[in-house]
Every structure is written in C-alpha cells, then in structure tokens.
Amino acid sequence: MDMYSIVGGTPLRGTVKISGSKNACLPLMCAALLGEGPTVLENVPDLRDIRSMMLLLEHLNVRAILKNGRMIIDPVSFDTDWVPYDMMRRMRASMYAFGPMITMRRRAAVSKPGGCNIGNRPIDLHLRGFRSLGVQMVERQGYVHARHEGLKGAEVNLLGSNGPSVGATCNVLMAAALAKGRSVIQHAAREPEVQELANLLVAMGARIDGIGSSTLAIDGVERLNGVKWRVQPDRIEAATFAVASVITDGDVLLTNVDPTTMTATLWALREWGAEIDHQGEDALRVRRGKDCPMRPLEIETGPYPGIATDTQPLISALLAVTPGVSKVRDTIYRDRFMHALELNRMGAKTTQEDDSLSINGVSSLEGAAVMASDLRAGAALTLAALAAEGSSQVRRIYHVDRGYERFDQKLAALGARIVRTAEEFQDPGAEIDWSSVEQAEQVSEVETRA
C-alpha cells in the first residue's frame, strides 16, 4: 500500500485543471450497454473506480478502451447476465450495471454492492423501481436475482428515508428508456450526474421530459444508438481544490469547472470568508478573503441543489481550523464522520452527536499519522495535513485513488510538499522537543497567575 507523506504550512498557488466527473462517468459507461453501436466518452478520468467499472464491463464481454481521457465502449458482444461478489464489492457504483443487464438480457443476478464505509446504504429503492416496471426479484445468499418477460412503463416512487436516490434514479431511468409505454419517476434525484445521464440517453434516442426536476417522464423507445459524449467536470474535485486553497491560505485558479453545479458549496465557502471570482464560464479563482475574517458555519448536507454529502468531510476539515464553534449535519449519511476521529488526532476538537458534528475550531492543527476510512475522508485528511504544522502521514490512500486523478501530483504542482511513498510507518510524534514543551508550560503558568 501507498501513503502520502506531507509537510504542512505551504500556501497553495497556481492553476489546476479539474478532471471529468467520476460520479457522472460511471452510469454513462453502463448506459453505453443500451446502445446499438459503440459509444465514445471524452474527458474521462483515469481512476481506480473507472478501471473497476472497465473490468466489470469486460466480465460482461463488453470491450472498453481508455486512452488519454477518451473511452470507447462497444456493447456488440454483451452476453452475460450475472456479476459476482468479487466485482460488486469493490464499489457501490457497480449497481449501475444492473439496469442495463435487466433491460437487455431480461434476467440478471448480481451480488449486493460494496463501496465506501460511510454507513447504511440499502438498495431497496433500486429494487422497488424495477418491480414497478414488471421485474420479478428474489434475494438469496447475498445476491439479487431478477427476470421479466418485457418491461412495462409505470409510475415509480423513489422517495426514501434519506430523500431521493441518485443510483436508483439512474437505474430506473435506463430501464424505462426501453420499456413499453410511459414511465413517470416521482421524487427523482436532481443531481447534475442524473441530469447528464438523462441527456446522454436523449442523445442516444430516448424520450425524456422533466430533466432537472423531481419528476421524470419517459416514453419508451424500441432502440437506442451509440453516441459521442463529453463528461462534465467533477464538482466534488473542484470543491476539494477550492477548500485546499483557502485552508492553506493560498490562491488557486480552478479550470474546467462548471460553477452552476456547485452553487451550495460556493455559498458555504463565501459565508466562511472565501473570495471566489468567476474567470469566464469554466474557471474560478479561490482564495481567503483579505478583509473578511474566517467565520464558523452551521450547515447541513442534502439532496441537490443542497450541499453534497461528499463535500461534508472537506468542509469539516476547514472548520476544524476556523475560530468559533461550527456545526455540520449530514442528512444523507448520518455515520459519515469517521474522518473526525482522525482530525482529532491532529489536534482538532470535534464531537459527534447523532447525525451532527460539533467543531470547536483551533488556531492550528499538528502533523500526525492518520488513516483514511473512505474516499472523501482521505481527501479531507490530506487537506488537513497540508494546513497542519509539521509532518503527517495519510495512510490507506487507495481510497483516494478511487476518486481523484493524480491527486498528489496536482497538489505538488500548486506548491504542496507531498510525496507518495510505500507505506512505512514512521510516527511523526515519536520524538519531541521537551525544551519547547517546558517553555510553553512556563508561559501558560505566567498567564494563569496574571
């Protein structure tokens, strides 16, 4: 395994190009299975999750080639209707293959998926949607078995206990595109990634109304065609580098971004005290406000257009070094706070209360050895290490590789002192300068007497 060795305290400066969206690209790759003929995707990031999906497509006997951000997917030999546990456990997005498999093969068997350890993430809404379209479903020994004699349009309600489901909306949308008759998805997810999938399907020949709203109406067609499509910029990566800029007191220009997909996150950063200037339609300059002090925040995540749950750990890291008491509530994944314990190892003061995190900001963090529990936690800990005093080690960065393309290289190009190395534990707290401790204690004692 690899890790990041980081020496904090350097402001990030320069320009960084944001990659294509992982969360958009994965369902687009599966949607290509529905077309008659090859589909070409451009602006595709070379990530661990993308490679995992390519392996899944290969298992389905579908050829996928990725070179220089351009992917060609040819479904002509698509002939497999099951996916084993070993493939599904790698990421939850593997579930996106279920809809095209059911649609094109009329039967499917898939293991229940894995992915980041961020709490309970059931697939009940996926199954509810498929059943509404006439699919028979049976769950046995960790697998979901499905079959049908022809998909039929229906009204599908996808409202769950945590709000709409992005994955379920995408899956039902793909199946309904080739179902007989009209389907109406109520409480559909509105995320930009869902909108992009819908627009891709329309380009392939689907008939979909209401894109961008919570109600999607789909009139099934007999066939879809392969197309050429450019993947949208990754709004979560853009948010990550925006936070990286302000947490290090830097000045970074983000290019290849779509600010319209980041409205809530940009609002939160401006409320905190960041200066964000639009440089044309696809670039943002982000830096800490000169005349505006850092302010604590009270925010909560929510379905789009709210603050994305994926940005919550990033904002939490920023608030850890923001004076005052902040509160972050995650209404999507209430257990998505494992990064907080690692931030506390660096000197942060956080306390979890049910689905909320209370953060008492400190003046600075201290370098420490920390461990990523999931993708966004790994990114948040990396940002915290960049802002911390001294050296840190961020371990288990294979989580980070799932969603960030050349993350360490992009940070290094902005001036970060970050090196990717083989994981060899060297605890930065193993040695201590006792003279500095004694000096600090003497100062504290004088201040107490005063």
Summarize pLDDT for 164-197 with one digit per residue, the tens: 999 999 999 999 999 999 999 999 999 999 999 9
Does residue 376 lie within any of the structural domains? yes
Q: What is the CATH number of the domain that holds 220?
A: 3.65.10.10
Q: How many domains does the chain divide into?
A: 2
Residues 301 and 388 in one domain: yes
pLDDT for 326 equals 98
Question: Does position 91 have pLDDT exceeding 50, yes or no?
Answer: yes
pLDDT for 87 equals 84
Residues with Cβ within 8 Å of residue 302, at least 6 apart in sequence: 163, 331, 332
Nearest to 403 by CA among 373, 379, 371: 379
Residues 319 and 305 in one domain: yes
Backbone phi, psi, residue 163, to 5°: 95, -165
Catalytic option among 25, 30, 116, 170:
116
Final residue belonging to a domain, choices 171, 202, 230? 230
Question: Does position 114 have pLDDT exceeding 60, yes or no?
Answer: no
Residues 399-402: contacts with CB within 8 Å, 24+ apart?
A: 399/116, 399/372, 399/373, 399/374, 399/375, 400/372, 400/375, 401/47, 401/48, 402/22, 402/47, 402/48, 402/49, 402/91, 402/375
Give the rounded percent of residues in the chain with a pLDDT score beyond 90.
83
Does residue 443 lie within any of the structural domains? no
Give the sign of the dihedral formed by CA 429, CA 434, CA 436, CA 441: positive
Quickly state the pLDDT bin for 119 (edges 50, 70, 90). very low
Does residue 342 lie within any of the structural domains? yes
Final residue belonging to a domain, choices 190, 215, 230? 230
| Number of alpha carbons in the 13 Å side-chain half-sphere of residue 284 | 27
116 is catalytic: yes
Nearest to 57 by CA among 37, 74, 36, 40: 74
Query: Mind listing the pLDDT tens digit for each residue in 121-141?
Result: 578 999 999 999 999 999 998
CA dist 130 and 99 (Å) reads 8
Nearest to 392 by CA among 3, 1, 7: 7
Mean pLDDT of 355-360: 96
Does residue 312 lie within any of the structural domains? yes
pLDDT for 449 equals 54
Q: How far is the first Cα of the chain from the last one, in angstroms, to the nearest whole number?
A: 52
Residues 321 and 429 in one domain: yes
CA dist 163 and 304 (Å) reads 10
Residues 29 and 14 in one domain: no
Give the domain extent around 266: 2-19+236-437
pLDDT for 120 equals 46
Final residue belonging to a domain, choices 198, 230, 262? 230
Average pLDDT, the chain: 93
Question: Does position 209 have pLDDT exceeding 50, yes or no?
Answer: yes
pLDDT for 118 equals 47
Min mean pLDDT across 114-118, 131-135, 333-337, 396-400 is at: 114-118
Residues 83 and 181 in one domain: yes
